[in-house]
Copies of this chain bind each other. A is one copy, B any other.
Amino acid sequence: MSEVLFQRVALIGLGLEGSSLARVMKRDGMAGHIAGCARTRATRDKAMELGFVDSVHEDVADAVADADLVVLCTPVSTFGDLAARFAPVLKPGSVVTDVGSVKMAVIRDVGPLLPAGVHFVPGHPVAGTEHSGPESGFPELFEHRYCILTPPPGTDRDMVAKVAEFWRRAGSMVEFMDAHHHDRVLAITSHLPHLIAYSIVGTAADLESQLRREAVENGDVVETREVIKYSAGGFRDFTRIAGSDPVMWRDVFLNNREAVLEMLGRFVEDLTALQRAIRWGEGETLEDLFRRTREVRRGVVEMGQAGRFIATEAEDSGETES
């Protein structure tokens, strides 16, 4: 039981992130009162039943009233509307933060709506799973994970320190970054990998349908789900990523458009060079790249071993090919 950092905390959105945050706050006594806000009755009922909040609210203004800390845990496209609705009731001296995967758009959408005297410390815990909903949360979600804070220039330093302390108590390693830089770095480490995974899983599903149709037409034995069946060869890792929350990820791409398109452009250039190397049988080009990427993998594993992050057994078991 740690000292209460914020007396009353309002969690807007009780899915994976919101309910995980509620759980760790409950477990460690990080808040005096946790007010949860969810759009659907089902989620509110589930939250009360699971007991990770002290009160639930349909109206965001009710949840936020008198809160010392407000955490936005819904898809980022909703932030602007939500902020417009709760801004009038924000308590002077309170702080608003969020868990959105993009930061420039959040600063653009939320920042101007907050009244003077209310602090704003945008954040991004780099943690998640493919699951969503209030049942999917767990208190260890943020443990040993980076949480990146991107306070705009001029933000009150004490309040930034307090939000940082809050995330450290939740188990995270806190880093500070400029919002624009955050969006570029995450575009390559997270957004582009997700986009590619979504894309190839779609391509494969279409191909599977086509193979099935062809088999029927030819009178062959129809293997119904061949792509899934042989997914252990690498594809399965992509399906896990492509199983992530559709609305959250739609919003990430729409709200980090420039950086995602830039990284996508770089990726397609490099992929096209590889395509050419395959077409022309340039084995050396391929092997050189594959040796270089193997070194990057070593770096990831070493950083894991060095304790900079804790790789779960899950992530580093090495089941991949062939």
Contacts and interface: CB of A to CB of B under 8 A. Distances in A.
Interface of A: 17, 77, 101, 126-131, 145-146, 148, 184-186, 188-207, 211, 225-254, 257, 260-261, 263-264, 266-268, 270-271, 274-275, 278-279, 281, 283, 286-287, 289-294, 296-301, 303, 308-309, 311-322
What's the number of copies of this chain in the assembled complex? 2
A188 B201 CA distance: 9
A263 B232 contact: no
Q: Is the interface of A mostly helix, strand, loop or mixed?
A: helix
A184 B211 CA distance: 10
Closest 3 CB pairs of A and B: A190-B233, A314-B317, A243-B297
Contact of A299 (B199, B225, B279, B297): B225
A236 B127 CA distance: 12
Given A196-B271, A242-B297, A146 B263 contact: no
B260 A193 contact: no
A246 B314 contact: no
A185 B234 CA distance: 12
A203 B266 contact: yes
B130 A186 contact: no
Contacts of A260: 278
